[in-house]
């Protein structure tokens, strides 16, 4: 007698996506060391700050998208679980 419980086929894809994203470790954004060739350091600092803002904005949007997908998968799993009972 087996106690192993297989999920229904329609729950397999969301479960695999959750498993894959749960182990996701974001990579560090390491910027190479280089110079823009400006003589005024305030210009270089301004460009660096603008680039940092773009990276932060991109990272926030990516995390919002991933969170939305995880919520969707979680809702689907809850519905499937309710159907089984």
- 18-64 pLDDT, tens per residue? 766 655 555 555 555 555 555 555 555 555 666 677 888 888 888 88
| Residue 70: predicted pLDDT | 86
| Residue 84: predicted pLDDT | 77
pLDDT at 2 over 70: no
CA 71 to chain centre: 12
How do residues 64-82 score in pLDDT, each as one tens digit?
888 888 888 888 888 888 8
Residues 72, 12, 17, 75, Cα dihedral to 10°: 20
| Residue 28: predicted pLDDT | 57
Residue extents of the structural domains in the chain: 48-84
């Amino acid at each position: 007698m087996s106690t192993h419980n297989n999920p229904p086929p329609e729950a397999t894809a969301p479960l695999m996506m959750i498993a894959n994203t749960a182990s996701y470790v974001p990579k560090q954004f390491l910027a190479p060391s280089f110079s823009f060739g400006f003589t005024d350091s305030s210009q270089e600092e301004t460009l660096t700050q603008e680039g940092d803002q773009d990276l932060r904005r991109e990272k926030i949007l990516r995390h919002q998208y991933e969170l939305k997908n995880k919520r969707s998968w979680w809702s689907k799993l809850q519905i499937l679980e309710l159907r089984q009972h």
